[in-house]
Amino acid sequence: MLKTPYRHRHQHTVRRQRPRLAAVAAIAATLALTAAGCSGKANDDDAAEGDGGGSELRVGDGVTATTVPLGVLTDMTGVYATLGKSVTQAQQLYFDRFNADGGVCGRTVELTVRDHGYDPQKAVSAYTELEPEVLGFPQFIGSPYVAAVKDRIDGQDKGLVIPQAWSATLLGSENIRQIGATYDVEMINAVDFLVREGAVGKGDRIGHVYFEGDYGENALAGSEYAAEAAGLTVVGKKIKATDQDMTAQVTSLAKAEVSAVLMSAGPRQSASLAGVAAASGLDVPIVGSNPTFAPQLLETAAGPALLKNFHVSTSTLPIGSPEPGPAELAAAYGKEYPGELLDTGVIAGWSAADLFGEALQRACKAKNLTRGGVTEALLSIDSMDTGFGITHDFSDPAEPSTRESLILRPDAEAKGGMVVAEEAFTATAAADYAVGGAEG
C-alpha cells in the first residue's frame, strides 16, 4: 500500500528529469503570455457601426448584411417537452413565412434552437452561448431560468426576451416582455366569471389547487384578491408538480363545502381533479389557469367530467376557433407539421414570434436594427391585434399587455379540444388590481 512513494523516493536520479519539467513549464508560460497579445477576444478598434445621423441603417448585436439571428431557448426533452415542441415549431413556421415575405430590412431571420431540457445549468449555459450571437430571444421556457439571467439581460445584454410564462414576477423589465394577462389577472377574471354565472355568491367558499412556485403562488394572489372583493373565502391547496392524484385535495375541498374550484397546475392534475370530483359527488364548476388543459385529456376517463364542469381562463382564442387568426394558423401548422398536436403552445409560440417580427419591422423602419432599437420599437406598440381575440399594449413594461381574459370550455368536437365560453372581458376587480403586488 505504501510501496513506491516512500521506499523509492530517493533512489532515482532527479537531475535528469528537472530540465524536462522546466522546459514544459517555460514553453507553456511563454505561449500563454506572448499569445495573450493576439487573443481573438482582445478589443480591436472595430470599424465603428455607422451612426450616419438617421439616414443609414444601424445594425449590431449579431445582425449581418443578410441575416438577423434570433435565439430560441426551449425544452424538448424535459417536463415541458410538448409545450416546447409546439412553441418552437410555430415560431419556425412564422419566421419561414416572415422570410418568404421579404424578411426585415432585406435580411432574413435565422433561429438557433437550444434545448435545455428544463435543466438550470443547461439553460443558463445555453443563454450564455447564444447571447453574444443573437439579437434577442422570441422564446425562453422556464421562468426560474429567465429570473436567473434577468440581471444580465437588464444589466449589460439588453436583448429582447419573450418568456413563455405569465407570472407577474417577471414584469417590470423593458427587455423581458410577456404576452397576455398574468396568472393573477387570469384568476381575478375567473372568479368574476364564476360570480356572474351564479356559481358562487357572497359568503361562499372557493377552492384553489395550485402548484408551489411562482406560477401557482401568483395565481393564488389573484384569487385571494378577487375573493376578498367578492366576499368569498379561498381554500388554498398547495401541491407539487409531482402530485398527480388529487383525491386528497378533492376530499378536503368537499369537506370544506366549496362551491367552485380554481386550478393552477398542469393538465394531469386537472384531469385527476375533475375525475375524482365527479366520482365523489363534488359537482362544482372548475376554472383553470391557461396551462391547465391539454386536448389529450378529453380521451381519458376524466373526459366527460371535464366536458361538464371544466373551464379555462386565458388570453387567446382557442386554436379551433373559426375566427380567421386561429383558423389560418391551424391550417398552416397542420400543413407544415401534419399529425402534430394542436395545443395552446402553437398560439403562444406564434404570438411571440409575431410580436418579435413586428418589433423588428418597426426597428427597421426607425433605421435601428440593434437590441436597443428592438426594445424601443416594442415600447411603441400600444395596440396590437394578433388575431387571437385580445388587443395587446406593450408600452408599459410594468403592466401585463392586457387585463382581459377569455373563458374557454372543452369541446370534444373542436380542433384543439376547446371552444369559447365567454368572449374577452375585464373584471372590475382586475382593472383596479395592482399587478405583482409587492413583488419586485
Least distance (Å) between residue 136 CB and other proteins: 17
Shortest distance, position 156 Cβ to other proteins, whole Å: 6
| Phi, psi for 297 (deg, rounded to 5) | -60, -30
Smallest gap from residue 114 Cβ to other proteins (A)? 7
CB of 36 to other proteins, least distance (A): 5
- Comparison of 33 and 47: residue with beta carbon closer to other proteins: 33
Taking the least distance from each CB to other proteins, the nearer of 49 and 197 is: 49
Query: Which is closer to other proteins, CB of 75 or CB of 186?
Result: 75
CB of residue 401 to other proteins, shortest distance in Å:
21
In angstroms, what is the minimal distance from the CB of 112 to other proteins? Answer: 9
Which CB sits closer to other proteins, 7 or 202? 7
Q: How many CB atoms lie within 10 A of CB 183?
A: 30
* 294: phi then psi, degrees, rounded to nearest 5: -140, 140
CB 78 → other proteins: shortest distance, Å?
A: 9
Residue 368's alpha-carbon distances to 66, 91, 358, 359, 380, in angstroms, are: 15, 23, 14, 11, 14
Shortest distance in whole angstroms from residue 48 CB to other proteins = 17
Q: Give 238 or 367: the residue with its C-beta nearer to other proteins.
A: 238
Q: Which is nearer to other proteins, 145 or 394 (CB)?
A: 145
CB of 165 to other proteins, least distance (A): 10
> Please, which residue, 170 or 427, has the CB nearer to other proteins?
170
- Nearer to other proteins by Cβ, of 114 and 371: the residue is 114
Distance separating alpha carbons of residues 115 and 123, to the nearest angstrom: 8
Q: Minimum distance from CB of 98 to other proteins (Å)?
A: 16
Q: Which of 359, 429, 384, 281 is closest to 104 using CA atoms? A: 359
Q: Given the complex with other proteins, which of 55 and 121 has the nearer CB atom?
A: 121
Contacts 24+ apart (CB under 8 A), 326-331: 326/387, 326/388, 328/387, 329/90, 330/415, 330/416
Task: Mention every residue, 6+ apart, whose C-beta is less than 8 A from residue 108.
Answer: 66, 67, 68, 99
Tell me how far CA of residue 334 lies from CA of 86, 100, 114, 160, 393, in angstroms: 11, 19, 24, 29, 30
In this complex, which beta carbon is closest to other proteins, that of residue 92 or of residue 296? 92
What does the block give as the cell for 214? 411562482
Strands 108-115 and 391-392: unpaired
- Whose Cβ is closer to other proteins: residue 29's or residue 431's? 29
Q: Minimal distance in Å, beta carbon 290 to other proteins?
A: 18
